[in-house]
Amino acid sequence: MKVFVTGATGYIGGSVAKVLIDAGHTVYGLVRNPDKINALKELGIDPVLGTLDDTEVLARYAEQSDAVIHTADSDHRLAVETFISALRGSGKPFLHTSGSSVVGDDARGDAVSEQIYDEETPFTPMDTREDRVAINNQVRRAGIDDAVRSVVIVPSMIYGEALGLPTDSDQLPQIIRKSREVGAGVHVGKGVNRWSNVHIRDLAQLYLLALTKAPSASYFFAENGEESYGDIAIAVSKALGFGGKTVSWSAEDAIAELGDWARFAIASNSRVRAVHARNLLGWKPAEESLLDWIEIHLK
């Protein structure tokens, strides 16, 4: 199968592209920076120079590919609409990447939510995630109205080494960076807020399964466990040689340094269960847990 992947130099996109290639698929990878073209070629990816605003490029490669996997920007409505338009009536798979912060809250690290979501649980998104949820719904509707086999994949906190070009995920690296800076494991507020998590290898395998098996208009959380940010801070502290010492990072200071991203990414609760991925696709996560990964790999 010929698959057009956006974000091919990124953490998710590069990892998904590598798994696709290993499975025998041909991958066209969208890349903004021409300096990374040769590196993509070395991975076996056919580079496509352009950005998500280059609608003619997106449409052309969507039309000449057997499937599109969009990992570059969950909030880029123009790209999503371009892909839906290009794929309309084709029945081709269109996999769109979201994130489980869509069910996040404004806990600011000080409260643990008892609410656990599966794919069928109704929710009202935070103000910062309303547009993302609207895009998710637009993708799913394309699976009903536009004869596109549309799929929304919703990863939780991702960890593990990238399978493509060297790059990092979002949440855990920020905690590690700040912990190194202050000499102790860091959590926002009380650190009791909990997030589900998933290893990048397991996540990439979910994309591979969804490409061939997912029903149209489907929606998949991706997780294999959950932890509180307080326990993550302890694990990071021990791995970095700080003896388990932790400190609280106030929500106000975290937001001032990292922007509103801190509020929904490291200060919120996002507790999800990947029921559909396991039951509909037979997804079986097999990699080490988040805390085990920190203990083994973070030095």
pLDDT at 297 over 80: yes
Flag whether pLDDT at 299 surpasses 80: no
* Packed helices 171-182 and 229-239: angle between N→C axes, nearest 10 degrees: 60
Distance (Å, whole) CA 5 – CA 86: 15
Cβ-count burial of 44 within 10 angstroms (0-12 exposed, 13-18 middle, 19+ buried)? middle
From residue 80, alpha-carbon distances to 75, 134, 150, 177, 292 in Å are 9, 11, 11, 33, 36
pTM of the model: 0.97
Strands (E), the chain: 2-6, 26-31, 46-49, 67-70, 93-97, 149-155, 157-159, 185-188, 194-199, 218-222, 226-228, 246-249
Here the tokens at position 34 are 């021409």
Q: What is the pLDDT of residue 130?
A: 96
* Tens-place pLDDT, residues 128-167: 899 999 999 999 999 999 999 999 999 999 999 999 999 9
User: Is the pLDDT confidence value at 74 over 90?
Assistant: yes
- Residue 250 corresponds to which tokens in the numbers above? 């106030």
Candidates 283, 279, 268; CA nearest to 127 is 268
**Dihedral sign (CA 298, 244, 188, 157):** positive
Task: Enter the DSSP assignment of 76.
Answer: -
**222: enclosing H helix or E strand:** strand 218-222
pLDDT in tens, 248-296: 999 999 999 999 999 999 999 999 999 999 999 999 999 999 999 999 9
Structure-block tokens of residue 26: 């041909």
In three-state secondary structure terms, 10 is: coil
pLDDT at residue 65, as a whole number: 98
Selection from 1, 155, 141 nearest residue 71 by Cα: 155
In this structure, is the dihedral angle defined by the CA atoms of residues 207, 211, 212 and 213, taken in order, positive or negative?
Answer: positive
Are 221 and 279 within 8 A, CB to CB?
no
* Residues forming beta bridges with residue 27, ordered by sequence position: 3
Is the alpha carbon torsion for 253, 256, 262, 267 positive or negative?
positive
Upper half-sphere CA count for residue 297 (Cβ side, 13 Å) = 14
H helices of 125-170, in order, are 130-145
